[in-house]
A = this chain, B = another copy of it.
Amino acid sequence: MTYCVAMKLDKGMVFMSDTRTNSGVDNVSVFSKCHTWTFSGDRVITLLTAGNLATTQSVVSELDERSKAPEDRLSTLAGEPTMFRVAQLIGEVLRDVIQRNADTGQRADSAFNATLIVGGQIGTMEPRLFLIYPEGNFIEATADTPFLQIGETKYGRPILIRAYDPGMSFEEAIKLLLVSFDSTIKSNLSVGLPLDVQIHEAGVFAPRPSFRIEANNEYFASISDGWGEALGSALSQLPDFTL
């Protein structure tokens, strides 16, 4: 399993992903599920991946290969004119990779599935954020649904619904996301530290360097420890029930 969230803010976007991949419970590895491309100062694109690792790595490699050989006249992340077209391109690559494996006669093509989140900004256009399904189609985050989750989405969703605010600073958004990830990690063994974080500042085409919150990160520990106590006092703040 996996847990990834991307969030639209007034100031830009924040992406967070865990790094645990597993096949069963005893074949566990660390792989980054967050990939960022920056092109010639006019676009920045970040991709979060959930699902079959062979599929998601193939998608990322295919996108990379195309970017390196634009003379092949294939669509590239650098060449698409809008984020909508970028989402279409990634959706097509994803569908093709899944299909390629399913076509070998393997029946369980759902086992090759993956779901992606892509967000970014091109030139003077608005930043846009999409969730891409294994079939290659996609939905876009809007003001009504300003954050997208993939993977094990349920445990960490209530706090996002309650506490998200588009006016948040990047720091506040990261704190909120860490609480959401902590709730998920506490309940699902297949989601685990370290966590990758990427920030896009709106209108800035050199993304801030991504960073990793390691298993021994003191701030994460303080959030994880402090949240139980904070919830206790939040509960006691609510009016008492009387039988």
Contact = CB atoms under 8 A, between A and B. Distances in A.
Contacts of A234: 227, 230-231, 233-234
Contacts of A29: none
B235 A230 contact: yes
Nearest to A153: B154
A150 to B, nearest CB: 15
Given A158-B183, A187-B161, A237 B242 contact: no
Interface residues of A, number: 41
Interface stretch (A20-28, A95-103, A118-126, A171-179): A171-179
A41 interface: no
Question: Of A158, A163, A228, which is in contact with the most chain B CB atoms at under 10 Å from its CB?
Answer: A158
Interface string A207-243: 0100000000001001100111011111101111111
Nearest to A219: B241
Given A154-B187, A158-B155, A227-B162, A175 B243 contact: no
Given A161-B186, A187-B157, A234-B230, A223 B239 contact: yes
A159 interface: yes
Contacts of A239: 219, 222-223, 226
Number of this chain's copies in the assembly equals 2
Contact of A241 (B156, B174, B227, B231): B174
A133 interface: no
Interface of A: 154-159, 161-163, 170-172, 174-176, 178-179, 183, 186-187, 199, 208, 219, 222-223, 226-228, 230-235, 237-243
Given A158-B186, A219-B239, A222-B238, 14 more contacts: A154-B154, A154-B155, A155-B157, A155-B158, A157-B187, A158-B158, A161-B186, A162-B228, A170-B243, A175-B240, A226-B237, A226-B239, A231-B234, A233-B237
26 contacts: A154-B154, A154-B187, A155-B157, A156-B158, A158-B187, A159-B231, A161-B186, A162-B227, A163-B228, A163-B235, A171-B240, A172-B235, A174-B243, A175-B235, A175-B240, A175-B241, A179-B235, A179-B238, A208-B243, A219-B241, A223-B238, A226-B239, A230-B237, A230-B238, A233-B237, A234-B234
